[in-house]
């Protein structure tokens, strides 16, 4: 059944929430043990930056949206991903993980993703963005959030992630609807689109960024005690949701990501030798080669209320 995007936009507008809706001083901080904090901090930092990266992805998608209504929806999704990142930062602040105005450092793989997004995302066709973003949302967001809710018993955290999950379910619903729309194009167009993008530096660099990013997250969460099966279940959800669409299977990149996710899911697959080497290699990537962090990356804040104008890091 085709989704009524008009109705969806109204629903999105009706369900807006703000950091100010949450009592950040409510009891529950004590549920986080001191020895768990450092690991949780690293996890939350990654999660928060992934939301921010997702936000930038939606900003690029808004420019490619097939209809003005979907463009408007993506405009909201862009903001909502930012809201999630802000809320996650606010949780870190609540848990005493941020000193003063500290904003956690993004990992090298996140920096690579930022750089890729800033350089290539706006020029990527919808067929690429519209396939990769759902994968990131389903796999990373889905698995990470599930893990968090199992490991952390702070009621405020649960309250926040209930709101985030509700937003995400709308994101995923629209993502797969659009993916299905993409698949509705003529096979010849899909093929030309795919082949021409396959050879583009954007997609090649994107793959080089994506493979270690995914494996780093996988390794991190395994280290933290998450059963990798949780991540695998989340990744297989990508395939399952994609199969529900009438035309999604016709999108070549969907098939590539689907096969790739099967390789990621299989821990015995030789793919991991390559991917983990890339993770290690990326550690040696000279930081000096990174361009200055773009200003959109500096917009994150844990402050629910903004008064006046502050510029730069932690600005609101």
Contact footprint for other proteins (CB under 8 A): 13, 16-20, 63, 68, 75-76, 79-80, 82-83, 86-87, 118, 122, 294-296, 299, 301, 303-309, 311, 315-316
What span, in angstroms and rounded, lies between the C-alpha atoms of 185 and 206? 24
What's the min distance (Å) between Cβ of 153 and other proteins? 23
DSSP-based three-state secondary structure for 123:
helix
Decide: 57 and 135 in contact? Cβ < 8 Å.
no
DSSP single-letter state for residue 141: I
Contact 136, 58 (CB under 8 A): no
Structure-token match 């990527």, residue found: 124
> Which lies closer to other proteins via its Cβ, residue 83 or residue 258?
83
Which one, 67 or 196, has the nearer CB to other proteins?
A: 67
Which residue, 298, 300, 238, is CA-closest to 91? 300
Nearest distance, CB of residue 297 and other proteins, angstroms: 9
Distance of alpha carbon 48 from alpha carbon 85, whole angstroms: 5
Residues 6+ apart with CB under 8 A from 85: 48, 49, 51, 52, 55, 300
For residue 87, the minimal CB distance to other proteins (Å) is 6
Give min distance, CB of 185 to other proteins, in A: 19
Cβ distance to other proteins smaller for residue 151 or 303: 303
**Please, which residue, 151 or 299, has the CB nearer to other proteins?**
299
**Cα(147)–Cα(184) distance, integer angstroms:** 35
Q: How far is the CB of 213 from other proteins (least distance, A)?
A: 21
Looking at the Cβ atoms of 244 and 311, the one nearer to other proteins is 311
């Amino acid at each position: 059944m085709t989704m009524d995007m008009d109705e969806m936009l109204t629903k999105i507008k009706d369900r807006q929430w703000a950091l100010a809706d949450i009592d950040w001083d409510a009891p529950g901080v004590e549920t986080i043990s001191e020895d768990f904090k450092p690991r949780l901090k690293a996890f939350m930092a990654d999660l928060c930056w992934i939301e921010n990266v997702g936000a930038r992805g939606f900003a690029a998608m808004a420019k490619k949206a097939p209809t003005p209504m979907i463009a408007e929806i993506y405009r909201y999704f862009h903001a909502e991903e930012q809201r999630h990142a802000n809320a996650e930062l606010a949780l870190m602040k609540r848990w005493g993980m941020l000193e003063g105005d500290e904003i956690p450092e993004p990992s090298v793989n996140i920096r690579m993703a930022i750089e890729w997004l800033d350089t290539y995302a706006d020029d990527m066709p919808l067929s690429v963005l519209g396939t990769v973003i759902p994968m990131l949302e389903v796999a990373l967001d889905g698995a990470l959030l599930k893990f968090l809710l199992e490991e952390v018993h702070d009621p405020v955290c649960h309250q926040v992630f209930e709101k985030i999950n509700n937003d995400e379910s709308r994101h995923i619903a629209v993502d797969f609807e659009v993916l299905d729309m993409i698949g509705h194009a003529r096979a010849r167009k899909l093929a030309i689109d795919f082949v021409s993008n396959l050879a583009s530096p954007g997609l090649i660099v994107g793959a080089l960024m994506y493979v270690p990013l995914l494996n780093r997250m996988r390794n991190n969460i395994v280290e933290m005690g998450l059963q990798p099966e949780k991540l695998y279940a989340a990744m297989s959800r990508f395939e399952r949701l994609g199969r529900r669409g009438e035309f999604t299977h016709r999108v070549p990149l969907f098939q590539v990501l689907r096969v790739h996710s099967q390789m990621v899911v299989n821990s015995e697959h030789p793919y991991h030798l390559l991917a983990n080497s890339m993770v290690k290699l990326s550690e040696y990537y000279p930081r000096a080669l990174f361009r200055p962090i773009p200003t959109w990356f500096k917009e994150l804040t844990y402050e629910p209320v903004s008064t006046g104008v502050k510029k730069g890091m932690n600005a609101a």
